[in-house]
Amino acid sequence: MRFILMAFCAVLSVCGNAQQGMEEMWDKSSAAKEHPNIQWFKEAKFGLFIHWGLYSQLAGTWDGKNYYGSGEWIMNQAKIPVSRYRKVAESFNPVNFNAEEWAQLAKDAGIKYMVITAKHHEGFSMFDSKVTDFDIVDATPYKKDPMKALAAATRKRGIRFGFYYSQFQDWYEPDGGRNTWDFDESKKDYQKYYQKKAIPQLKELLTNYGPLGIVWFDTPGGMTKEQTQAFVDELRVLQPGSLFSSRVGQGLGDYKDFGDSEVPQVPIKGAWESIYTHNDSWGYIAHDMNFKSSHEIIRLLSNVASKGGNLMLNVGPDGKGNIPYYSIKYLKETGAWLRKNGESIYATTFGQIPAQPWGVTTSRPGKLYLHVWERPENGSLLVPGFGNAITGVYALTDKRPLPFRRQGGDLIVNMASLPQEYTPDKVLVVAYRGAPPAYDAAAPVTVSPQYAVNNVDAVFAKTSGAAKTQSLTYSHYFGDWKHTTCVTGMQSPEDAASFTVRITGPGDYKLILEYACPQESARQEGRLEVEGKTYMFRTLRTSEFDKSAPLMFIKHPVTIFSAKSAGIYTITVRPYRQGKELFKLKGIIAEPLK
Ligand code: H79
């Protein structure tokens, strides 16, 4: 399989190393040949991830204390001994679990594949396993195997079914990874764990549940590349048709998974997936109500598709087998949008036009889909650098044709005739002849007076000296990862970040720097340069960079820039003197002043 970054090598190295080195770099050489079954995955675009285990029964609370963030980590967070954790199974009785309802929800949401936790790091098997008694059939009053019914109900609806399996971390087993509170790390024999539990259980999963779409591994450890290859080869025999996720480790796997809650900011070729959870936790937490609205899900989905990947969105059912109310509600609303707009998502590839202040693009042969998140104030939508012969432009939902004109290499669509309706993503279709245009990674960032806010993000910076573009990873609670690309390393005047912008109309623009700045970096002077003019500023303190705390960004207005005419401008940011890192620059915001 090919996995080619189209631009910005700096981003690849950072994305590939996301999450504290949990993920290895994607190894192109080992993935030269694509899996023959990869096509369905590339076209699927929308998957449902389900985290369900004993942690769902605990619901984020242990011994009267509430935990926040990744609820499936509660055994680890609270350092619950195996002797007590195993008793949770005695009260786990998901009588409300209904495979048909879960699968139908996925269908209604427009989901094309489902991956559910067969065994997470806690070590509990949510399927009937002969390898252990610590499984849902042997250890709980429920006594049934929910995975049998779910696999059947899902497949019946044309949705691919797959298992998540934690192949290294297993906090229940003396030889499993990462339980340091019950077991002595130095005495662990990981090979024994693989041979006695992980491989036999994976064989059960690959044998007893029909054809699987995906086996989703996570957090590899304890195996060399050769051992990982042997592990994959041994399992492949059972289901040559199933795809293995890249989190099997060592650069292997049939498609690439980015870090948890991470979307690349530029298009990526090849098969890949971004995973997000619906609230702040993967496993159910009763007190976590921070659900993404359908509006947020739809924009996330179109954004991931615009970069060429799939979104697998997670829900966490509770210990009784109920999917949270807001997950059902917002997934169904997402499905309603997809029923009308699915053509612009499913089986598309990344859009050839980079992100604009109005939104993003996706494409199919002969069609470019404009995902209009923000309408231009004057109704005139600029699609820069689109020179193909156009056969028509229309709104996707009602096929209403829209007037358009060419201006140099640009396409300008007049969407003023479209009614003002509430929608998170109004899709317009540009039908054209000829080969698709090439994605121009060096295209200037559009700044237009038609939008309240124009973001010029760090990913588009040209850096010099010691300045570099870097993806910073941090969590708010625990394991709820955030990723923000910043320009870092600016310590002296030679270390600059330059942005090429295309200002589409004359006028005054407020230029706002968005950055994070720890105490040691605060109160240093910097320069913002545009059109031969220099504007001075002094940095404001926000927060330290700590991977287990929010990274706080300030929007610091620095100057007003008066653009005499439309055109290409360069904005450069640099330290005034040698000193500490100036700040971590998230980007520049250009705000048109009316
Ligand atoms: O299943 C979900 C997570 O539980 C799982 N991946 C998604 C899909 C995952 N497992 N591990 N990680 C994600 C990385 C977590 C690392 C950390 Fe930590 C947990 C950082 C802080 C808490 C490791 C353990 C480092 C410190 C403690």
What would the pLDDT profile of 267-287 be if each residue is shown by its tens digit?
Answer: 999 999 999 999 999 999 999
Q: Which CATH number fits domain 43-342: 3.20.20.80, 3.40.50.300, 3.30.9.10, 3.10.290.10?
A: 3.20.20.80
Q: Which atom of ligand 1 is nearest to the CA of 73?
A: 4
At 296 the pLDDT is 98
Nearest CA to 260 among 291, 243, 282? Answer: 282
351-441 homologous superfamily: Golgi alpha-mannosidase II (2.60.40.1180)
pLDDT band for 32, please (50, 70, 90 cuts).
low
pLDDT of residue 381 exceeding 80: yes
Nearest CA to 539 among 571, 509, 516? Answer: 516
What would the pLDDT profile of 192-249 be if each residue is shown by its tens digit?
Answer: 999 999 999 999 999 999 999 999 999 999 999 999 999 999 999 999 999 999 999 9
Mean pLDDT (the chain, rounded) = 94
What would the pLDDT profile of 486-524 be if each residue is shown by its tens digit?
Answer: 999 999 999 999 999 999 999 999 999 999 999 999 999
R_g (Cα) of the chain, nearest Å = 25
At 24 the pLDDT is 37
Rounded Cα–Cα distance for residues 337 and 296 (Å): 12
By percentage, how much of the chain surpasses pLDDT 70?
95
Instruction: Say if residues 412 and 383 touch (Cβ distance below 8 Å).
Output: yes
What would the pLDDT profile of 415-470 be if each residue is shown by its tens digit?
Answer: 999 999 999 999 999 999 999 999 999 999 999 999 999 999 999 999 999 999 99
Third-level CATH fold of 454-592 = Jelly Rolls (2.60.120)
What would the pLDDT profile of 290-331 be if each residue is shown by its tens digit?
Answer: 999 999 999 999 999 999 999 999 999 999 999 999 999 999
Rounded Cα–Cα distance for residues 212 and 233 (Å): 16
Residues of the chain with CATH 3.20.20.80: 43-342
pLDDT of residue 364 exceeding 70: yes
Q: Which atom of ligand 1 is nearest to the CA of 49?
A: 8
Q: What is the phi/psi pair of residue 38, to 5°?
A: -75, -20
**Measured over all CA atoms, what is the biggest interatomic distance in the chain, rounded to whole angstroms?**
75
Instruction: Say if residues 103 and 156 touch (Cβ distance below 8 Å).
Output: yes
Rounded Cα–Cα distance for residues 444 and 377 (Å): 22
Please report, as a single letter, which amino acid is at residue 237: V
At 33 the pLDDT is 85
Between β-strands 367-372 and 404-407, what pairing exists: parallel, antiparallel or unpaired?
unpaired
At 118 the pLDDT is 99
Residues near ligand 1 (Cβ within 6 A)? 19, 22, 70, 72-73, 218-219, 260, 275, 282, 478-479
pLDDT of residue 571 exceeding 60: yes
Residues of the chain with CATH 2.60.40.1180: 351-441
Residues of the chain with CATH 2.60.120.260: 454-592
Q: What is the phi/psi pair of residue 516, to 5°?
A: -110, 140
Query: What token pair was written down for 550?
Result: 């929010």
**Over residues 335-345, mean pLDDT:** 98
Nearest CA to 470 among 444, 455, 450, 489? Answer: 489
- Mark out the alpha helices in 122-257 (DSSP H runs): 136-139, 146-156, 190-193, 199-208, 225-236
pLDDT band for 594, please (50, 70, 90 cuts).
confident
Span from the CA of 219 to the centroid of ligand 1 (angstroms): 8
Span from the CA of 98 to the centroid of ligand 1 (angstroms): 29
Ligand 1 pocket, mutate which of 163, 219, 476, 480 (most atoms under 8 A from CB): 219
Q: Whose C-alpha lies nearest to ligand 1, atom 19? A: 479
User: Rounded to two decimals, what is the model's pTM?
Assistant: 0.95
DSSP for residue 229? H
